[in-house]
Structure 1
């Protein structure tokens, strides 16, 4: 049977086998040519060769020289790098090896990433020995994080520190170690499973959106190559050997040519204009775009950065930096980019003016400074830089709120709730015929939301043991230490040396020597915060269809979704209207998708409150079977009315009693407004055992203002 190679050939990937690389292939090549760019984030659906391309890249990179026996891979040619395994003298053997491709698992522990105390050496020989972690192995190599958006916050903090400083400092368990950790950070993610923290997102130099090809011939070619590789991996890889060698050689030559590529003052000014036009935060975008443009010029064999280099670099460096909040669509306005860049290449820097002859009286006297910058054109010299393109035009960003509160106020009339079911039935439609026809704009409509605000924090009662987050109390691996327990108790994983020694000392022993037995081991018990499942159950019936009310409700839910994104929660969305309830969004980590479904949610028809609550119960029971540690929080958004078939009110109260019996933490967001209120949502919250929250008090600032006014 043929020997399977370590990876699928990079040049065999469709889109990476031609002179014109696609965005994924180009981004990986550019960050290999110039590692200072800062790595690549690959976003895309599952099954789009993200991991395949990353793993194939490692074999194309030039090998590195290391000291023999050095676990930290310091560069022998760089005297500023010091290895904890050293010192290494001039006579130490140096060997060449391929670059390391280190996988950082999503569930890795902090000790595994940073390194930890070598327990065997400490317990058997009484020596404090340091065991290097994954960041030490990744030095001068590639650190690959699959599903980087699912990485725990404490690991994200470690990556941010290492990426910012290029070093790792470990101070724990009786030892202090510092070592270099410079690596190519490459992450892949599926946006449907959740977004990435903005701090880590900005650390990625380039970002690529990957989708499956829609051309049938391209899809067929992908399948053909994959099947050929699976049938004969060795023979398939040998067919691309020459292409792999040529690609590796070109990357090595481009690396050597980067230092010779000239970035003119005019090109640098053009990059600054592009970044300013797209309103990116900070100056990291300017730096990364400049480095990427230089790398692209070196890859193309040019010695000067051109307009094409700047354009291609901007398309890879700016899309993920111009996003203002998690619900903005990614991407870049290419028309605006072309307008800012113009049609001509940046002019080269003029040659240095000839030096005037030195004065015989005072040969060391410096020449007079120029009044103008020679790198600027006459037009630029006449006009100060502040007068550059200030208004990027209407295409730079869309309207912030097409259905804003002012527009809603003009179209809104008195929003008093009907006092009888007769008035409501007239709004919802006759009889029980289900949802009205699409032509009825009054009965079935879609209303947009206003800008989200800082929402009030909602939490689950008690303490759980879920994944790290920022919402509810939890006993786990993070947080303040509140005690110690034997291993396997579900309370933690880090060894508590003091409590371990104390348990060993309290045990009976023979002779004077104390021995640590397995039953004496203790781990730290810590109290921190966990993430939760936030399941929204939203009333979308005719009683909610008034424009002002639905806009207020959608804004409140959008604000709660934004809060869930920041607290790393899982979210789901159920809507109920007409005669049924629908799971619009199964529980997911992607609040972007939830926000999009919310904006498109129509309203109209009767109010099947019982069906909505029963569907929420089914979803919560299914999710509990999948992950028993994930504690849910049910958020019911309704005015409390129940209409439809006979006995709708009794059925809804019975469903509420059933959920209350499951001891599920829940909140009823009361959407009822106006001077005349029936208080039905308050009664529903009492039957659910839920917190009653008027929709106006979802806004944390409004609630704080009300509290201050009452206290005054």
Structure 2
């Protein structure tokens, strides 16, 4: 039997995904600071949800991509008593679950809205804390589970309860109606990859390596980025204007802004960082009656609609303008294109533009 049959399947490079700049930025932020609480993706089939999640896993230290099946039990997820050891040696021994396997990787949950609420609770708790604690079946155990939680759902099949929806850190809504130029770019990239996966990966290897280095460098910068009074004031004003419940949105917006600043190698968190992540943090938390509020200068973008933002590659400190807020790939096959701004079904944030992409 040919050894090629046992070779690992090559994954589509993260940097080569076309037309999903906002999703890619959300995943990068969650990789830089997993304590953000995961990324929830709403959208139809065929919009690169799993492709992006698998691609992100390859940028992380372990490169582990773990998918939670819909029928999974709580024991499969968190771990359980090792029955074989208990019966043979009369010892209590922990048998790791999927959360242990996903440590330093990506845990992908397709159709998370169809999971039992108890499992979603566990996923969100572990995602935010980075620790899996087990107290059951005579087991008292805990282990690190610092992972990027990625959940997807199709709005046609229902949504999550508001209490669970609010606990997801970032939210991205993907539209099915893709412009012809973007469709062409997506298809070209996919056909090139399918024709010669090794060559396609080699073409994007330099960009992939820069992304890996950028994530690690950003993680080391996080602790040194302090929240100034101006940052607290702007974040609280934006969240108040969005009429969100509680302060989870404030905390998440602060964390996401800090991760964004670290990605761009800034020495301090800028207003541009806050504006760049507003849509990701508030789209699923904003209350509908807040739509009546007049535009608040605190959440107005500082660029015109026809300006584009660059930045899949971490930018130098001096380039702090808001046009450096979105991801951009480089290389022969990296013209991602741009997704048009559209209203999300879950009350999108007003007056905040989604991250466009330089063509």
Give TM-score scaled by structure 1 length. 0.39
Q: Gaps spanning 5+ residues in structure 2: where? A: 304-345, 347-359
Question: Structure 1 pair 125/60, CA: closer, same or farther in 2 (3 Å)?
Answer: same
CA distance in 1, matches of 2:234, 2:119: 37
CA distance in 1, matches of 2:208, 2:291: 35
Query: How many pairs does the alignment contain?
Result: 301
CA contact (8 A) 2:78 2:132 kept: yes
Other-structure match for 1:55: 54
Which residues of 2 match residues 265-276 of structure 1 at below 5 A? Answer: 265-276=229-240
Q: Secondary structure at the match of 2:58?
A: helix
CA distance in 1, matches of 2:218, 2:8: 30
Q: Secondary structure at the match of 1:102?
A: strand
Other-structure match for 2:166: 202
CA distance in 2, matches of 1:135, 1:173: 18
CA distance in 2, matches of 1:169, 1:254: 28
User: What stretches of structure 1 move > 6 A for 4+ residues in a row?
Assistant: 332-335
Distance apart, 1:240 and its partner CA: 1.1
Distance apart, 1:262 and its partner CA: 4.3
Other-structure match for 1:15: 19
Q: Secondary structure at the match of 2:135?
A: strand
Other-structure match for 1:340: 298
**Relative to structure 2, which stretch is displaced further, 155-164 or 246-255?**
155-164
Question: Structure 1 pair 7/343, CA: closer, same or farther in 2 (3 Å)?
Answer: closer
CA distance in 1, matches of 2:201, 2:265: 28
Greater percentage in helix: 2
Question: Structure 1 pair 235/278, CA: closer, same or farther in 2 (3 Å)?
Answer: same
CA distance in 2, matches of 1:161, 1:262: 25
Q: 2:83 aligns with which of 106, 115, 119?
A: 119
Distance apart, 1:38 and its partner CA: 2.0
Where relative contact order (Cα < 8 A, 6+ residues apart) is larger, the structure is: 2
Question: Structure 1 pair 286/175, CA: closer, same or farther in 2 (3 Å)?
Answer: closer
Question: Structure 1 pair 277/257, CA: closer, same or farther in 2 (3 Å)?
Answer: same
Other-structure match for 1:147: 111
1:224-256 deviation line (CA, Å, top 9, x unaligned): 211221222112211111121122222222222
1:522-579 deviation line (CA, Å, top 9, x unaligned): xxxxxxxxxxxxxxxxxxxxxxxxxxxxxxxxxxxxxxxxxxxxxxxxxxxxxxxxxx
CA distance in 2, matches of 1:251, 1:235: 25
CA contact (8 A) 1:262 1:303 kept: no
Question: Structure 1 pair 288/28, CA: closer, same or farther in 2 (3 Å)?
Answer: same
CA distance in 1, matches of 2:263, 2:128: 26
Please state if 1:185 is matched with 2:149.
Answer: yes
CA contact (8 A) 1:4 1:234 kept: no
Other-structure match for 1:320: 284
Distance apart, 1:191 and its partner CA: 1.3
Please state if 1:300 is matched with 2:264.
Answer: yes
Question: Structure 1 pair 33/116, CA: closer, same or farther in 2 (3 Å)?
Answer: closer
Give TM-score scaled by structure 2 length. 0.75
Please state if 1:233 is matched with 2:232.
Answer: no
Q: 2:182 aligns with which of 209, 218, 224?
A: 218
CA contact (8 A) 1:262 1:304 kept: yes
Q: Gaps spanning 5+ residues in structure 1: where? A: 17-21, 64-97, 346-591, 593-712
1:67-92 deviation line (CA, Å, top 9, x unaligned): xxxxxxxxxxxxxxxxxxxxxxxxxx
CA distance in 1, matches of 2:292, 2:227: 23
1:33-60 deviation line (CA, Å, top 9, x unaligned): 2223222111111110001001100111
Question: Structure 1 pair 111/312, CA: closer, same or farther in 2 (3 Å)?
Answer: same
CA distance in 1, matches of 2:294, 2:275: 11
CA RMSD of aligned residues (A): 2.9
Q: Secondary structure at the match of 1:105?
A: coil
Please state if 1:250 is matched with 2:214.
Answer: yes
